[in-house]
Structure 1
Amino acid sequence: MESDDEEGPPMLVAADTKSVPVTIITGYLGAGKTTLLNYILTENHGKKIAVIMNEFGEGDGAMEKSMTVSSGEADAPLFEEWLELRNGCLCCSIKDNAVKAIELLMDKQGKFDYILLETTGLADPGPVANLFWLDDGLASDIYVDGILTVVDGKHILSQLEEQRKDVEINEAVRQVALADIILLNKIDLVSEEQLHKIKSYISDINSAAIVIPTTHSRVDLDQILDLNAYGCDSSHSQLQDNLMGKQQSSAVLSAGDKNHIDTTVSTVRIDMDGSLDPQKFDLFLQNLLWERLIQSSDGSAMELLRLKGLVCEAGNSHSTILQGVYETYDKRTTKSPILSPSCSLIFIGRNLEKQVLFDALTSCLASP
């Protein structure tokens, strides 16, 4: 769906649930992204996967050597070379425009079961995800299945704590905050005490993400592919588990119980009974994301990095999935009928205050 206000930031375009899923893979240089991709591409998983890569900073395997790295010339081709692998997978190196590369992929190479997009080591995955949601033509062919962040267990704490004069929230924090899945890699290089501290730190930032400890980026692919985090065909209970983080539900609720203002990046979860008035709810989202009118009790504007939820809207017999990144959000009606009206939302950002958010959402409830 699109915003009626041409001057305002657009809402996301709904994706076709039968389209090809895309997982955005992000993480700092050296975290293990390319190792993960090499592992996926060489496994006998039975999927026809297309991988789009735009950096070759890790490893010197035969896959990278077989591909041509961009020369950086202005008239160079958008993508350098398609490399077809024996197990039916396909790999592509690109210069800069991942959306165009995927359009060419879908047009010239045929349909795939899955697409993996690796971002650069310092990339913010938010705008990358928005590119797909805001491209009307592309949204009919693919949908974002989830954002996966690979973190280096040995260095992640120092990366998260890095203070930068030019930014208030550094790239490592943003990558963790926006993730649906966090691959905590290189755990063999840290002690149990350090591992516990890392998990606690990550949970403070994004307690809705599922954290998977691993070494050498080796992971059960069923844990990271086909997350269906925003799939509209699932039952209401399945949607709650997928969307709100089944394995991390206790951590989310714990973080959500913080009523004080948190100036660092943190997670707040709100659960409430009843249905929301669609117009009031849209106005709440616009005031929160676009106008920055929802403020904490000390007058600080709340800054949202990620927003997701499962809500019931008055006049709709089926529940609605909400997802948002920064100033962009999307609402999609599911195939799950509403039995008992309720709403669950997760907010990840700065200057969050649960009571203020709860009161604002309460004012959006539809009359009985």
Structure 2
Amino acid sequence: MSSALIPATILTGFLGSGKTTLLKRVLGEAHGSRIAVIENEFGEENIDNEILVQERQEQIVQMSNGCICCTIRDDLRATLSDLAQRRRSGELMFDRVIIETTGVADPGPVAQTFFMDDDVASQYLLDSIVTLVDAVHAPQQLDQRLEAQRQVGFADRIFISKSDLVDAAALAELQQRLRRMNPRAPQTLVHFGEVPLKEVLDLRGFNLNARLEIDPEFLREEEHAHDHHDHDHDHDHACTEDHEHGPGCAHHHHHDDDVKSFVFRASQPFEPAKLEEFLGTIVQIYGPRMLRYKGVLNMRGIDRKVVFQGVHQLMGSDLASAWGPQETRESRIVFIGIDLPRDIIEQGLRQSLAA
């Protein structure tokens, strides 16, 4: 077995958002990378057979450009192990895996497979979760389906399709809504799946590195909302009382999403033992509702940045680069989850700071 892990990308998005269009484009591009596509489907939308060369009615199909495709209706873990074994034996040749989930799938269990199962973890590296959002239908889907919200919350990158079919105001409101749900995923407008490959592959979304990108617009919005925060636990409504914003702000309560995010920042260093104990407790209690969380931490007694991130109850941390001489030593943590108790988490984090 080669020591290099096989990178895997999870492609998710609600029905009709354009996942298959994007995938066909990725597979059709002459990028020299052989891709194994796993379709985790329930018969809604398959990759069209014209781009496949189907020799026999088999689960695994060889494509005309050297990529392979397989449809799973059972266990993802078994399929990943089977593909890796066939690759080791030389029966199949591929460089990476893309898993296309069903339109109604929660990406959480798919992502967890790469960490929970030793066999899979020893052979694959989860690179990122890419989510497609349909600008026309997303507002209604996000209002009605928690799965659609979860897909946004888990994303490392969000592609918005069909943006040309909605007016500028509706698009701006959707983008602001997505930003409140997930400020760490860059948003890109796409037309008919035309996306540069570098924006889909090798994003290193699950890599423990020191970069924590939070949309600066979100931080400005956050600070503003907190100025008017009156401890009614209804943060997204904070600006409905502030009439200088005009009526546009009152829209928020029509879609007070279950999936929300917030950022914690502190210039005081954390006390390592206290923080570890607190995060361990929080993850035990709220882990199932914590979709993605990531932070760059300033720890007392450690001259390097500490980076940590997690998915549900699974959390990892690592030492990153040293703080630069001109750099402000500030801890920043973003939490994305379902009805997380922001006040409790922020209070516990403050109590974990060094005296």
Which of 135, 141, 160 is 1:159 aligned to? Answer: 141
Paired with 1:68 and 1:197, the residues of 2 have a C-alpha distance of 48
Counterpart-to-counterpart distance in 1, 2:272 and 2:298: 9
Q: Which residue of 2 aligns with 1:39?
A: 25
Aligned to 1:125: 107
Aligned counterpart, 1:140 = 122
CA pair 317-107 structure 1, distance change in 2 beyond 3 A = farther
1:337 matched to 2:319? The reply is: no
SS at match of 2:59: strand
- Aligned mate of 1:57, from 23, 30, 44: 44
Give the Cα separation in 1 of the matches to 2:124 and 2:275.
Answer: 28
* Aligned pair partner of 1:310 in 296, 300, 315: 296
Q: Deviations over 1:23-71 (max 9, x none)?
A: 11111121111111111111012222221112353364413683878xx
Question: 301, 321, 329: which one pairs with 2:307?
Answer: 321
Q: Cα deviation per residue 1:257-291 (whole Å; 9 max; x = unaligned)?
A: 64442474321011223443343223222332322
Letter in 2 for 1:44: A
How far is the alpha carbon of 1:353 from its aligned partner?
5.9
Contact 2:35 2:95 in 1 (8 A): yes
Which stretch has the larger CA shift, 127-136 or 278-287?
278-287
SS at match of 1:290: helix
Change (3 A) 1:281 1:33: same
Counterparts in 2 of 1:275 and 1:144: CA distance versus 1, 3 Å: farther
The higher radius of gyration belongs to 2
Q: Which runs of 5+ in 2 are unaligned?
A: 235-255
CA contact (8 A) 2:53 2:61 kept: no
The normalised TM-score by structure 2 is: 0.78
Name the aligned partner's letter for residue 98 of structure 1.
L
Shift of 1:335: 4.6
> What SS does the aligned partner of 1:109 have?
helix
Match of 2:59 in 1: 80
Separation in 2, partners of 1:35, 1:118: 11
**1:92 corresponds to 2:78:** no
Kindly provide the amino acid, as one letter, of the partner of residue 156 in structure 1.
A
What is the alpha-carbon distance in structure 2 between the residues aligned to residue 175 and residue 137 of structure 1?
A: 26
Q: Aligned runs of 1:1-368 on 2, under 5 Å?
A: 19-55=5-41, 57-58=44-45, 60-63=48-51, 66=54, 80-86=59-65, 88-110=66-88, 112-162=94-144, 170-232=146-208, 236=210, 239-240=211-212, 244-245=213-214, 248-255=215-222, 258-259=225-226, 260=229, 261-262=233-234, 264=257, 265-292=259-286, 303-314=289-300, 318-326=304-312, 328-339=313-324, 341-352=329-340, 356-366=344-354
Q: Once the 2 structures are TM-superposed, how far is the Cα of residue 256 of structure 1 from its aligned partner?
A: 6.2
- Deviations, residues 217-241 of structure 1 (Å, cap 9, x unaligned): 2211111211123434x5x4xx23x
The 8 Å contact of residues 53 and 63 in structure 2, kept in 1 or not, is answered as no
Inter-CA distance 18–251: structure 2 relative to 1 (3 Å threshold): farther
Q: Flag the 1:96–1:336 CA change in 2: closer, same or farther, 3 A.
A: farther
Of all paired residues, the percent bearing the same amino acid is 32
CA drift at 1:124: 0.3
Query: How has the CA–CA distance of structure 1 residues 190 and 26 changed in structure 2, closer, same or farther, with 3 Å as cutoff?
Result: same
Deviation of 1:156 after TM superposition, in Å, equals 0.7
Q: CA deviation at 1:252?
A: 4.0
